[in-house]
Amino acid sequence: MTNIEYNNELIQKYANLRRTINEEYINIHPIQRGGILTPEACKALISYGDGYSLCDNCLKGRIDQIENPPVGEFLKDMAKFLNIDNVMVTASARESKRLLMKVISKKYPKRKTVVVDSLAHYTTYLAIETNNLKVREVPNSGEPEFKIESNDYENIINQVIEQEGELPLLVVLTHVDYKYGNYNEPKPIGKICQNFRVPFLLNAAYSGGILPIDCKKDFIDFIACSGHKSMASSGPIGILGFKEEFHDDVMVNSKIVGPISLKSFPNKICTVMGCPPVYGAPLITLMASFPTIVKRTREEFVKEEAKKANYIVEYIKNINGITILGKLPKIHPLTNIKTDCFAEIAKNHPRKGFFLRDEFKKRGIIGMLPGISKEMKFSSYGLTWEQVKRFSNAFLEIIKKYAPI
Amino acid sequence: MTNIEYNNELIQKYANLRRTINEEYINIHPIQRGGILTPEACKALISYGDGYSLCDNCLKGRIDQIENPPVGEFLKDMAKFLNIDNVMVTASARESKRLLMKVISKKYPKRKTVVVDSLAHYTTYLAIETNNLKVREVPNSGEPEFKIESNDYENIINQVIEQEGELPLLVVLTHVDYKYGNYNEPKPIGKICQNFRVPFLLNAAYSGGILPIDCKKDFIDFIACSGHKSMASSGPIGILGFKEEFHDDVMVNSKIVGPISLKSFPNKICTVMGCPPVYGAPLITLMASFPTIVKRTREEFVKEEAKKANYIVEYIKNINGITILGKLPKIHPLTNIKTDCFAEIAKNHPRKGFFLRDEFKKRGIIGMLPGISKEMKFSSYGLTWEQVKRFSNAFLEIIKKYAPI
């Protein structure tokens, strides 16, 4: 007996869940733009909706070795795409970071410090915390650019060596940060890490699938990507790319033996608990979108998307009370702005800060943080030019509505 | 520049992935039956296909606190359904086990042994291994029943105390095992654990969503369930249920602080890396199927499904060369049989063991392990009576075809 009844109330609450809003609106939230499914992924999603749909023809008990559909081949193609030796799928980019830190902690048990840029995502910090490691930050230049200097990595690494008598365990660079969308060139930092012989992780959750990445050229040892954030996958699904020299550290085969049953599982990869939890929709949609991902990270597409982002910036930057934050011109379309002009309106508006979300919504645009009027974060990735112009224009319209000249 | 070209070959390989086979066939693989989507989940899947679709109206930066759609309420309803104090979603049942063992290891650092039944799933062993713990097994009675005796748990716990001077860290019972589908009554073992004051985990990956579960009545401290295995969710998604006394051990708020940025994330749950990776399709389909899950775990539905499983067993058990393994009558429809009769045919068949899969496939039935003719594992869960009869009959047809009387 359970405490819950099967009745009309229960059915009404759960049996008709729809995300209708997204069908008529542009969603400019940066976590949404890169994950929107391709038509190919939509079709694959419907076909492979059941939980273990990828496992119909699993012959070896390993998701990474499934041949039909071509998972094994896909992982090799993804490795080529990122130009790194190996690729494994994980539950998410955050999970890639967590398990990577765990495996290299085991390799270098005396090294306790992870060096990160000070714009790292909160999950980078949580991966450090959950692995009982320490964090050191590389500073940024503060407002308005919040720029990271590659050379500061060298200083911080030297400080760690001096103060702890050990190398850092890992150096992390956030390729494109969640806050200002600043693009950081990995190569100079990769070179520094190579000189110190410290493993270098690129967190490409916002960039892998949006911008071109070449791990070998940039001295990247590990890369974490997000299928649902930037690779048009339903997900959640992460990618962990790693150099061959770390293969046996990441791909650890199980050694446990049942003392009575004598069961053992030497074919299973302990690091990902056997098969990572992506047995159906997450991985199949990532695979289905892969050709588009390859296409959209080519130079002409990337340039066009940057053009849209910079168009918006140019259009709104001279509005009184708007300040563009982060480095310019934009390379990645994630943009952060201070909106003192809107904060001023909010003061006297009956809906307070919520007025801003309302006003954009009236104009067919959603994804603003509710109640916030002092700053805004958005991404124009994948919008049509018509939508880019509508979005840019909305700023002026709202300003004019409340402060008619 | 990447090493991969956007060309027709790439498009052909990935852009048209379809699982057509499942539309015309019955899939009797036990990992598939309980995860087949409800019509409500299919609709929700299409609507919430994009990666972060659940986060449109996230106000608190926590997936478990989203109100629209009603995630927070759903977790409470799921807790009522399982009759346990708290429920958190995770990437998978295996992940529930891994992170649970991690948090209680932290609570009881001297306790190093996990006691499991000897039919535990491989991921239970991997969760032990990845947490650097030791495993002890409770024996089973061997062929044909492979029965676990509740009292043996007491013996093994006493052995651990005697030999290690510490209580076991955790006792695990596999509610319904992956191999023989044996149903184990949790209550007697829960009582033993309560007497010893050892935390008790029920692995309900195959049962939660198929059979009724009452954690309070059965002295269950923790429960791991699988949305994609047994709750008609697209998933992957797991559930971790836990008693209030362990709330602060599981729901650990982040304490890390960025030394320069002074960033901190006290609202984020470290255990699940902030938000567990179920931001769209996995959780929304679980929610959409929930009313059906409540309904199908009521007595009349459960009895009907057992009836189907026992019908098949009765129908085939007298075939010469077929032995039913596991406890009878069936309570859960996962069934394992020895098929010496088919193994005999395979010896002289040009397709060897693959003939068996071929023969069933000709009859519209898939899900057999390729190449295996000595034993078979299947589940009749959710089949119509017509399908149950077709499946039962297929055994006789195949036998007759190769050994005409």
CATH class of A8-33+298-402: alpha beta
Helix A354-362 / helix A385-402 crossing angle, nearest 10 deg: 130
Kindly determine whether residue A17 and residue B284, on different chains, have CB atoms separated by under 8 Å. Answer: yes
Is this model's pTM higher than 0.80 or not? yes
| A247 vs A86: CA distance, rounded Å | 8
Q: Is B118 helix (H, G, I), strand (E, B) or coil?
A: coil
For B275-387, strand residue ranges (E) read: 322-325, 334-339, 365-366, 375-379
| B2 vs A396: CA distance, rounded Å | 41
Q: Tens digits of per-residue pLDDT, A294-348?
A: 999 999 999 999 999 999 999 999 999 999 999 999 999 999 999 999 999 999 9
pLDDT of the residue at B402: 92
B69-107 burial: b if 16+ Cβ within 10 Å, else e = bebbebbebbbebbbbbbbbbbbbbbbbbbbbbbbbbee
Taking the domains of chain B in order of start, what are their residue ranges?
8-36+298-402, 39-296
Fold entry, domain B39-296: Aspartate Aminotransferase; domain 2 (3.40.640)
Secondary structure of A112-141 as H, E, C letters: CEEEEECCCCHHHHHHHHHCCCEEEEECEC
CB atoms within 10 A of CB A68: 11
C-beta separation of A210 from A297 below 8 A: yes
Q: Is B238 helix (H, G, I), strand (E, B) or coil?
A: strand
CB atoms within 10 A of CB B109: 9
Kindly determine whether residue A126 and residue B214, on different chains, have CB atoms separated by under 8 Å. Answer: no
| Nearest chain B residue (CA) to A41 | B15
In order along its 405 residues, chain B shows pLDDT tens digits of: 557 889 999 999 998 888 866 668 999 999 999 999 999 999 999 999 999 999 988 999 999 999 999 999 999 999 999 999 999 999 999 999 999 999 999 999 999 999 999 999 999 999 999 999 999 999 999 999 999 999 999 999 999 999 999 999 999 999 999 999 999 999 999 999 999 999 999 999 999 999 999 999 999 999 999 999 999 999 999 999 999 999 999 999 999 999 999 999 999 999 999 999 999 999 999 999 999 999 999 999 999 999 999 999 999 999 999 999 999 999 999 999 999 999 999 999 999 999 999 999 999 999 998 899 999 999 999 999 999 999 999 999 999 999 765
Residues in chain B, how many?
405
| B342 vs B350: CA distance, rounded Å | 14
Restricting to A residues 375-404, those with a Cβ less than 8 Å away from any Cβ of B are none
Residues of chain B with Cβ-Cβ distance to A27 below 8 Å are 56
| A175 vs A141: CA distance, rounded Å | 17
Q: Which two tokens stand for residue A199?
A: 């493993």
Residues of chain B with Cβ-Cβ distance to A6 below 8 Å are 291, 294-295, 298
Tell me which of 3.90.1150.10, 3.90.226.10, 3.90.79.10, 3.30.390.30 is the CATH number of domain B8-36+298-402.
Answer: 3.90.1150.10
| Nearest chain A residue (CA) to B298 | A1
In order along its 405 residues, chain A shows pLDDT tens digits of: 557 899 999 999 998 888 866 668 999 999 999 999 999 999 999 999 999 999 988 999 999 999 999 999 999 999 999 999 999 999 999 999 999 999 999 999 999 999 999 999 999 999 999 999 999 999 999 999 999 999 999 999 999 999 999 999 999 999 999 999 999 999 999 999 999 999 999 999 999 999 999 999 999 999 999 999 999 999 999 999 999 999 999 999 999 999 999 999 999 999 999 999 999 999 999 999 999 999 999 999 999 999 999 999 999 999 999 999 999 999 999 999 999 999 999 999 999 999 999 999 999 999 998 899 999 999 999 999 999 999 999 999 999 999 765
Report the complex ipTM: 0.96
Strand partners, B323: B338
| B182 vs A218: CA distance, rounded Å | 54
| A103 vs A170: CA distance, rounded Å | 11
**What does each C-alpha distance from A129 to A50, A62, A81, A126, A132 come to in angstroms?**
35, 30, 31, 5, 5
Do β-strands B375-379 and B238-242 pair in parallel, antiparallel, or remain unpaired?
unpaired
Of B83, B29, B50, B4, the C-alpha closest to B284 is: B50
List, in order, residues 6 or more apart from A335 with CB less than 8 Å away.
A180, A181, A309, A312, A313, A324, A326, A377, A378, A379, A380
Restricting to B residues 181-220, those with a Cβ less than 8 Å away from any Cβ of A are 212-214
CB atoms within 10 A of CB B156: 22
